[in-house]
Amino acid sequence: MSTSLLYNAFGIIGYFHHSTSFIAGTIPVAIQDDRWRLRCPVCRSREVRNRGRQVRRFRTVPISRKAVYIDLAVQWIECTKCQVVRQVKVQFSDEHKRYTRAFERLLLDLSRQMTIQAVDRLFWGELGSG
């Protein structure tokens, strides 16, 4: 999978494709951030120090009825200007959410044509276990 496909299919900008797997009917896609774009999420300074990473998984638009997940090691940084330690903002998802904006748009578009229960069954099966 190319970086171009990340942008055109999933709306992900500023990240690089690392690897793609096919596991039990799902497609996990590992991506990396552009380290040169790191900024403090509070004051937007580029004077930051790395403080580790935490892998986060985001649900995104399916490919051929297979669930696709974006795996990203989100950087923790310390700003040398404002002294704050925070996780870098993820550009393709809203804060505290485990799905991409592209997936959110797909669900909203489908909910205009289908019932909420039908959308739920389409993506998570009968029990809504997603």
Interval 84-114: pLDDT, tens: 999 888 989 998 999 999 999 999 999 999 9
What are phi and psi for residue 22, nearest 5 degrees?
-130, 105
Structural tokens at position 8: 């055109």
What are phi and psi for residue 108, nearest 5 degrees?
-65, -40
85 pairs with which residues across the strands? 78
- Tell me the chain's radius of gyration from C-alpha atoms: 17
* 20: number of Cβ within 10 Å: 13
pTM > 0.95: no
Residue 80 DSSP class: T
